[in-house]
Amino acid sequence: MRTPNDPFALRGIANLHSHAFQRAMAGLAERRTDRGDSFWTWRETMYRMAGRFDPDTLHAVASQLYAEMLEAGYTTVCEFHYLHHQPDGRPYADPAAMSRALVRAARETGIRLALLPVLYMTGGFDGRALAERQRRFGHDVDAFLRLVEALRTDESEVLRVGCALHSLRAVPADAMQAVLSTLPRDMPVHIHIAEQLGEVQDSLAVRGARPVEWLLDNAAVDARWTLVHATHLERAEAEGIARSGATVAICPTTEANLGDGLFPLRHFLDAGGAIGIGSDSQVSVSPVEELRWLEYGQRLATHHRNIAVRPGSPSVGTTLLDTVHASAANATGLGCDGDVVVLDAEAPQFAGATPDDVADRWIFSGNRPLVREVHVAGTRVVADGRHRDRDAIAARYRTAMATLL
Ligand code: NGQ
Ligand code: ZN
């Protein structure tokens, strides 16, 4: 491992939003099924994949994914986990069996895990019951709180248990209040919010307010909150999130893949907002690609360059890395002592590099993997660009995929 002053030794990156099982369908939803293909038709494909998992296949897929994350430079993952029950909706003998498969995958691969069991109760803003293909996601409030409590007994320096509300579509207002008033005040809370225009319209129709507007008015949103996507924002909403201290988790490659829309980054940063990134649907497992596209989306929309900068911080790469690091502790509830990503100083992309341009070169030059070593909590898990168990994990992944497909 290199010295702390080494410009090629960077802090590990937190991945604020992951659905591990979706790694198994990355690249398999890219054929037109309907002229109107959209987020909502993708979701049907996703539900079919979700219906096939059991704890063993989830463990195998999550292990592959977490090894890939580590090789790419993510050292912490927030797992937004809602695949709780058997496919017909009955709990497993151990109601936490699917959660424990994820915990095991994180422990074995060596990534820090913020496990976010998801409360998922209704099929839409109108409070309709879950559809059959959503049954394995569902809990009532008491069963959900029991799950969170059961998982908390395993907490450690590398495992934090938080809580997630799937979305305002899936969690009625009274259930949200019941959960938030019962759980410890310092627990990370994550929620999908305002990703699709359709949900903004439904929220306006049923709750009389836009999703972010409603949330800010009806929950004590503060720094322990992470708002995932928050794509469709009016100015006052962006400013309200910034004032609250909450983090917005932006998932640029997934948001592009699903046709969500573009987060108003410049305005949010001007308001002092906190952001992080997530790999979400796993169409890309690379902080480089997320950060690159976070910036490029803004350039395409504004016809300007070098958007994500701050006064005194003119480098886009450095500003982006500093910004995602600044939100990590709040969003994950975890520390990052001993989390180090060592880049390949010998790579041609770094010829003539100075400490000031390492981040820009890493994020904005080419596609060769530049991560050489990764350490989590002081343990080396990636050497020479390879996860310590890469081959065994990939072999189990292939076996699991043969079952899933
Ligand atoms: C999810 N994914 O829960 O996996 C969601 C889709 C939904 C993203 N929002 C399902 N990217 O929002 O209903
Ligand atoms: Zn998501």
Q: What is the mean pLDDT of residues 262-274?
A: 97
The closest residue, in CA terms, to atom 10 on ligand 1 is 43
Ligand 1 atom, smallest distance to 82 CA: 3
Ligand 1 pocket, residue 75 CB under 6 Å: no
Question: Which numbered atom of ligand 1 lies nearest the CA of 260?
Answer: 11
Atom 3 of ligand 1 has which residue's CA nearest to it?
166
Q: Which of 286, 283, 289, 402 is nearest to 28 (CA)?
A: 283
At 90, the amino acid letter reads: R
Q: Which three-class secondary structure state does DSSP give residue 112?
A: strand
Looking from the CA of residue 258, the nearest atom of ligand 1 is 11
Direct distance between the N- and C-terminal alpha carbons of the chain, in angstroms, rounded to an integer? 40
Which-ligand-closest: CA of 17? 2
- Banded model confidence at residue 4, pLDDT cuts 50, 70, 90: low
Nearest to 10 by CA among 333, 374, 295: 374
Gyration radius of the chain's alpha carbons: 20
Share of the chain above pLDDT 90, in %: 98
- Centre a 10 Å sphere on the Cβ of residue 237 and count the other Cβ atoms it contains: 24
For residue 318, the number of C-alpha atoms closer than 13 Å in the C-beta half-sphere is 13
Residue reference for tokens 């009806």: 218
Assigned CATH topology for domain 9-404: TIM Barrel (3.20.20)
**In this model, does residue 192 exceed pLDDT 60?**
yes
Is residue 43 within 6 Å of ligand 1 at its C-beta? Answer: yes
Report how far ligand 1's centroid is from the alpha carbon of 225 (Å).
18
In percent, how much of the chain has pLDDT > 70?
A: 99
Sheet with 371-376, strands from edge to edge, namely 9-11, 340-343, 371-376, 379-383, 386-387
Q: Which of 195, 226, 250, 257 to mutate to test the pocket of ligand 1 (most atoms within 8 A of CB)?
A: 195
pLDDT by residue (tens digit) across 358-399? 999 999 999 999 999 999 999 999 999 999 999 999 999 999
Average pLDDT over residues 17-44: 96
pLDDT tens, position by position, 36-89: 999 999 999 999 999 999 999 999 999 999 999 999 999 999 999 999 999 999
Return the pLDDT at 5: 83
The Å distance, Cα 17 to ligand 2 centre, comes to 6
pLDDT over 80 (residue 118): yes
270 flagged as catalytic: no
**What is the average pLDDT across 137-166?**
98
pLDDT one-digit tens code per residue, 90-99: 999 999 999 9
18 alpha carbon to ligand 2 midpoint, in Å?
7
How far is it, in rounded angstroms, from Cα 168 to Cα 125? 7
Residue 3's pLDDT band, with cuts at 50, 70 and 90, is low
Structure tokens at 300: 């395409």
281 CB under 6 A from ligand 1? yes
When pLDDT is averaged across residues 106-116 and rounded to a whole number, the result is 99
Which listed residue (190, 229, 375, 387) is catalytic? 229
- 111 touches 50 (CB < 8 A): no
C-beta of 68 in contact with ligand 1 (< 6 A): no
Ligand 1 near 192 CB (within 6 A): yes
Supply 251's token pair: 């998932």
Write down the pLDDT at residue 2: 54
Q: What is the mean pLDDT of residues 220-229?
A: 98
Three-class secondary structure of residue 72 per DSSP: helix
Q: Does pLDDT of 125 surpass 60?
A: yes
pLDDT of residue 197: 95
Taking residues 107-124, report their average pLDDT.
Answer: 98
Structural domain spans, the chain: 9-404
**Which of 120, 125, 281 gets mutated to test ligand 1 (max ligand atoms within 8 A of its CB)?**
281
Contact 224, 245 (CB under 8 A): no
H/E element, 31: none
Residues in the chain: 405
Residues 6+ apart with CB under 8 A from 363: 288, 291, 292, 316, 317, 320, 321
Q: At what angle do helices 287-302 and 316-332 cross, to 10 degrees?
A: 120
Q: Which residues pair with 11 in a beta bridge?
A: 340
